[in-house]
Structure 1
Amino acid sequence: MAAPSPGNLSAQQLADISPIGTAVLNVRDEILFSNRRFRELMTCRSRRAFDGWSQSIARGDYERVATAYDTALKANKALRTEYRTGDEPCQWRLLMLTPFSEEELRGLPLGTEGGSYCTITDITEEKRAEISQKKIAEEAQRRKEQQERFIDMISHEVRNPLSAILHCTEDILEAVQQQDQQDIRVKDIAQAAETISLCVAHQKKIVDDVLTFSKLDAEMFTLLPRRVQPRQHLAMSLSMFRPELRKHDIDFEYKLDHSYADCEVDWIIADLDRMSQVLVNLVCNAIKFTAKAGNEKKISVFMGASKSALRRNATNRPEWGEGGMAYIMVAVKDTGIGITEEAQKRLFERFNQATPRTESIYGGSGLGLNVSRRLCHIHGGEIGVSSKEGHGSTFGFFFTVRRSVESAKSKPPRQEPGAIAELCREVQALSHEVTEGTNEITNPAIPTSPEITHVKEVSPSASKDEAWQHTARIAYEAGNTEVMRHSPSLAQSTDQSQYPKQQPSQSPRPPPDATKERRVLVVEDNVINQRIVARKLESMGFRVTAASNGREALAMVQQSTFDCILMDQAMPVMDGNSATRAVRDLEKHGMAHVPVLGVTANVRAEQQAEMKAAGMDDIIHKPYKMRDLCDKIQQLIG
């Protein structure tokens, strides 16, 4: 049968060709005319009843669409609405309802009651593209915000210690330049040097993590294996924490399991610099979360080995040698605040921390654990965590190594098996407990409170010299014994007396009358920076009060009068911007105006604008010289 010519096509045939569903409705929602596409998209049971179209609307959109439709009918207004269908997979529809005008009604069999012209279009592909584009835009925005936070974190974490380094350097130079060389106090110089060492170690960790993270992301990271002794190498890495352990009065122990001797891994081929980076990250976190713990403050590091394959790895290149495979296992246990089960699932994601409050209270970037996990993976290993909120945490990791041919000649002495053996055996289960290929980690079966035997702490009555000699002794002991112990409680306390008053020096000072009875409130969360700045300002004649966060500062402002507030911008509990706004609110209710000098390690213009908008009178950037700080304070207080 020949196809009809265009002149012979009926209105119905022409309408059925259209990809858009069309229909004419009267005021009683009866279909007077519809095309084939309309009926396909509406899934109506009756060719005449339009009310059946509601059956195709997804439950989540029904109320919204029904309300809009009824409102349009009552008001005799046009309607344009999108909705999802209840089909699987989900489909999207665009419904357009246009009332006929009086002129249009004259040519239609609708009488004077009126009616509407309805169209329905399948917009599924367009909506999917829109949703996909929206997700891409949201992800791009999230990445941009992450990048900005990352840059701010790097700026803060690197520039913040620079202030302490700069001020300690000034102290040393002033002491050396004193006219009376007999007045030089070696103890002051030694404390300044130790503070510099602590700050440099912190900066090195941040820089190492950032560089490693960048290389891993760019797939340019390679391991550099070499012959090394893990028990000694890791001990030397741990020695960097001695000042910080002593400062926070945290007990510390480092033990080897008997399996280490059984596996003959005294000398191995591995990239222990990278594995030390993992250990440093874990111990840094342990210190951070144990420092504010309750009565018991203790961190334990255990190391064992296994001959059994724990994970497939790519350490089969020629530079790794032909020695037998072995697996080094390390566990870090602390008595800190612990981690919830839900938070443990997010813990190893980039820029992520246990909870949003973790960063605000304890600081940090949320980068170290992600880097640690990826380093373990590339070294044929894995990392996991076992923790209970309020009862501390145990992080365990293992990595693949090759034995060196000298291993058998330098076999370390065996240690009697004990509870540590069980701990290390359970560390081996990490590869089975961690979900492969995802960011979600289940709890590895590591006991949260393993029984440690033969632990003998250094007597609290030991002399201070013994603590100071510990750094040099720790590496030597690693080569001669499988147990090293350190109790920082023997060191002097971390109160203000730890930082003696500055001796008279040649640093510029303001005139005596300029600082007479001038009270300065130093608000700084970094204890080292806080004490150094307070001591330096006191040496210049200011009366100094210190606060560790904005909330403490706000309480002090309401109790005492200050001539100037030195306000750090990034602090836990309450940041500098929030505290400054609160101070300005108090001034609106009668409190006298007090100048606020903002202190920040962030240099982005947006952040400086936020600080000024919060009510800060001026800003000084870290690192700064004390001369510049003093000049800023003088300008503000007049």
Structure 2
Amino acid sequence: MSKDADFFNFSLSNILSTEQSILDKARIRLLYYGLWIVMVVVAGLFLSVYFQHLEFLTVTAAIVFFCVVCLFKYLTYKPEWRVISHALLIIATLINLSNVFITIQKVDIITIQVILLVLLFSYYMLGQRAGLGYSLLNIIPVLAFYVLNYNQSYFIPLRPEELDQSTIIISMFANFIIIIYIHSHFYSAFLKNIKELKQTSEDQAVLNAKLELTISKAEKSSQVKSEFLATMSHEIRTPLNAIIGMSNLMIMANPRPDQKENLNVLKSSANNLQSIVNDVLDFNKIEAGKVIFETVKFNFVDLMQNICGAQKLKAEEKGLSFTLKIDPVLQKRVLFGDPTRLTQILFNLVSNAIKFTREGSIYVKAFCYEDRNNKLRITFTVKDTGIGIDKNNLQSIFEPFTQESITTTRQYGGTGMGLAIVKRLLELQGLHMHVSSKVGEGSEFSFNMEFQVSNANINEVGDKHPLLQNTDSLSNLRILIAEDNPVNVLLMKKLLSKWKIAPTIAENGQKAIETFQNGDFDIILMDLQMPVMNGFDASMGIRKLPNPKKANVPIIALTAAALLDIEEQVLNAGMNDYVSKPFKPEELMEKIQNLVFADAGHSVA
């Protein structure tokens, strides 16, 4: 109902609203103007029968006039057209049947017109079911009267009233006017409805076309973004690989204390740049749904100490006290979970705590609040006495590329990706981050995570591969390196020389296949992006070689790319594993040894 309609309203515009459909508006208009017509007609009939002294018809006309006035007033107060339509049809049916059986006691043209009016009005206003009901309610009794009258078996002790010709003419004329009005009104309404439906359909088609174009642009934009990230990752990681690699080599060469200090600064800066690149790429990977959570055994206490070890040094450099507290229940526990993602979450939280704390302390706690059915539920808490966060900004800090304010970004630096990555990684596991903070006093981040308990001995987990303790076994290892970048070639040669390995170099994939076929190698380190033939095609070519021994040689991909499905592509190309540039020397060594010495019966010539 319109807010402008009240008991004293008589305006049609006040009972029409934009929420009403075209047909509903048409029904309300029909009732509004139709009731006016009926009031005029009934008033004229009342005067006609009154002067003819037809008492029953006079009373009937007066009652009908009163009812129509009341229904009109109800319509202008509450436009409940269904209720009013039913009321009008019931009145018309009662009048029609009373005229046939009592007042006039015959079926004339007026009766037929009233039946037609009821039929049209009921179908247009209330639909098929109501239209059929009201039609049968009028037609069946009239037909029954016809039969009774034909057999001369209908008789009541009331004398029928006779209408003069003027009353019949008024009734016929009024009925024709109403029939024409109903037809004309709904015909125009239906045409308008059809036109609007057609226009809506055309508009929908235009919108669908625009939507398809937008989706296509979004997909293309996403693809371009991924390709851009892959390219930029390769372009940034390639020099980073050389910087970090050379820094490692120079530090391994026992430099003077002042040189070592300079090298550590250089390495730290390169690692910070690598961390920023990794944040962006990790978030892109998470958003694309390419994150897979592992379930492996790990020593919980060792993991926590490894995460916090380097961070503790960073905190102490700023003059902050650093406390790591682990629940005694968790001591000497081997758990199943994803240590890599847990490390990523805690590392980001602790790094943020240190970054935004000028003085005071950093507190990291792992507390077991539930231990049953070989499952542990652990609460992780990272608390600081830093700058704190305004309560209005608690949600925005978890958005990507966002920090609490521009001032914060300028003063403390960073990409604003850390907490966004933390939030997404937790959400992907069905977990939530709880934050409490006061400006100027500090912040506390906490979350709960469930782990399956392993029955493995604590000494069996976390030990390095026994071969990693003795690199002398690598001295006779025959390695083929497919790499086109001269700096990376120099780096790999210097790094492998530390392990007394003299590698063979191939500058592209095609050359790698030819060199491999003409030589005897234990493992291949394959760059992915090379001229002539890339690493994927080269690996697939090697796997198709007729010699089974050569075809099954271990291949490790070396990649600086940021492809979201890099692991899947590497495995599909037949490679055994991959290492992302810049890599840690010990990581590459471990992978080489695991693959070369995986078969206990395999020996290095």
> Shorter-chain TM-score category?
0.3 to 0.5
TM-score using structure 1 length: 0.35
Indicate the structure with greater helix content.
2
Indicate the structure with greater strand content.
1
TM-score using structure 2 length: 0.36
